[in-house]
Amino acid sequence: MFEVFENKTIKEILNKYLDIWSIGYASGLLGWDSETYMPKESIKERSIVFGRLAVLRQKMMLSSEFKDLVKKGEKEQNLNDYEAGVIRVLKREIERFEKLPPEFIEEMERVTSKARVVWREAKAKSDYNMFKPYLGKIFELSRKAAEYLGYEEHPYDALLDLYEEGLKTREVDSMFKELGPQLRDFLKKIIESQNYSATHPLEETQYDIEKMKALNTEILKLFKFPFERGRIDVSAHPFTSGFGVYDVRITTRYEGKDFRRSLLAVIHEFGHALYELQIDEKLMATPIAGGVSLGVHESQSRFWENMIGRSKAFTETNFELFKKYLDFLKDYTPDDVYRYFNIVKPDFIRVEADEVTYNQHILIRFEIEKGVMEEKINVDELPQIWNSLMEKYLGITPPNDALGVLQDIHWSMGSTGYFPTYSIGTILATQIAVKLEKELGNLSELITEKKYDEIKSWLKEKFHRWGSTYPPKELIKRALGEEMNPKYFIEHLKRKYSEIYSL
Ligand code: MG
């Protein structure tokens, strides 16, 4: 173990870290279990275990023995990239724990664990007033967190950095300034185009769940998902859990109709899983053996979902396979399925949004979160603000708060600052495709020829193998030769949808 690490102090740190890592591994597995197979009432004990393990982990990170070791490691000269990565990642985590007082962490934990339950009920009843006091408290705590964590330019920077190391509010601002208006104009063009249709009969077509499961497994086999190192299960909201590089699990959902939801979720989660699975095994059980940031992680899932799963080459090449499990497709052509996978439609729910409208949903949340952090937005007026932003950016007004301000779980969990990473991932995915085509050739041809091994090796070399060795911005620069740039995303959309809608 630890063979890429040569420095004696770093080796000492890694040995010590194994205890901390093991706690993370165990809580990860318990977390996966609570979303998949755990009997409902077990949560009463399970939540105690989660709390205690988190505290235990924090205590070990902050023990003077461990902290002193990391400090010693920091002073070491000539660290290699992996070793420097270990120090960077641990320093970040220790600093975060040190800056947030235990009373604050406990209060946040207490408020959010209750808020999640209340949010679920409030959403089911579409009753914003029920959730409002909790949201008010959570936003107040988020502002407090920013003060504790510290920032140079904008309080929101402190929260963004938790999810995307080094990301600044002004960068998100300029990203949306470039994207927002162009995409809104383009959306208008699509909706006003002659053969535009907001619906497709396949959205209502029922499928056999067992057959759909078999099809999803076939797709994973096509991508050579290593079943000896992972599995696929069912959950209400699809997710990926990677405990280590040898155990990465994904889930999908089966609603019985609208089969693209189940299939594209599998492809999306496969992208997340592949990242974790292709991290260099030599980094196993170290602080850098995980994806580097949420934005980079989402770029991998979006690459597989949008650039592969929603491509014309993919539906064309796999149409016979789809038909084998979904007999109703005998009445359709590959082109019908391609269009069904890519319907553009301004709608209320973010997670169901298409490529063209998706980022407007994030923009709305970003403007609100920024306003909250600047103390310009008060929770009393939030539903009205939400609805007017929906009207402004997507031209529709939610009929109720369940389809509006109450739809996402994130705020109830205290995850203010998380949303922009979804846009970063979506943009990066298109930029990755451009770079990949430059180096490997046409992506459609690779898909048609089922050369997934080539795509996977390329992604491994550029992104995956490094884990968290480099900070996200540096990894992107190394992999793509430039910073994130929204122009690639706009070009991709214009090319693809101008063809679909004959614009
Ligand atoms: Mg994702």
- Angle at which helices 209-222 and 260-277 cross, to 10°: 40
Candidates 132, 178, 190; CA nearest to 345 is 190
Phi-psi region of 276 (alpha: psi -120 to 50; beta: other; left: phi over 0): alpha
Ligand 1 mean position, distance from CA 470 (Å): 21
Q: What pLDDT shows up at residue 150? A: 97
Ligand 1 mean position, distance from CA 424 (Å): 12
Q: Centre a 10 Å sphere on the Cβ of residue 349 and count the other Cβ atoms it contains.
A: 13
Place of tokens 């420097």: 84
Beta pairing class for 247-252 and 230-234: parallel
Give the DSSP per-residue string, 225-279: --TTSEEEEE-SS--EEEEETTEEEEEE---SB-THHHHHHHHHHHHHHHHHHTS
Ligand 1 mean position, distance from CA 409 (Å): 14
79-96 residue pLDDT tens:
999 999 999 999 999 999
Q: What pLDDT shows up at residue 40? A: 85
Write the burial class of residue 236 (CB in 10 Å: 0-12 exposed, 13-18 middle, 19+ buried). Answer: exposed
The mean per-residue pLDDT over the stretch 422-429 comes to: 98
Active site residues: 269
The mean per-residue pLDDT over the stretch 437-459 comes to: 98
The mean per-residue pLDDT over the stretch 38-59 comes to: 89
**Whether pLDDT at 129 is above 90:** yes
Query: How large a percentage of the chain has pLDDT more than 90?
Result: 94
**Whether pLDDT at 421 is above 90:** yes
The mean per-residue pLDDT over the stretch 314-329 comes to: 98
Ligand 1 mean position, distance from CA 238 (Å): 9
Q: Is residue 50 very low, low, confident or very high in pLDDT (cuts 50, 70, 90)? A: confident
Q: Is residue 113 very low, low, confident or very high in pLDDT (cuts 50, 70, 90)? A: confident
Distance, in Å, from the CA atom of 301 to the CA atom of 372, rounded to the nearest integer, reads 30
Write the burial class of residue 488 (CB in 10 Å: 0-12 exposed, 13-18 middle, 19+ buried). Answer: buried
The full 3-state SS of 435-459, as one line of letters, equals: HHHHHHCCHHHHHHCCCHHHHHHHH
Ligand 1 mean position, distance from CA 427 (Å): 13
Candidates 20, 87, 86, 88; CA nearest to 54 is 20
Query: Do the beta carbons of residue 379 and residue 206 sit within 8 Å?
Result: no
Q: Is residue 110 very low, low, confident or very high in pLDDT (cuts 50, 70, 90)? A: confident
Alpha helices in 63-151 (DSSP H): 64-75, 81-99, 102-125, 128-149
Average pLDDT, the chain: 96
57-72 residue pLDDT tens:
999 999 999 999 999 9
Q: Is residue 219 very low, low, confident or very high in pLDDT (cuts 50, 70, 90)? A: very high
- Say which residue, 14 or 105, is predicted with more confidence: 14
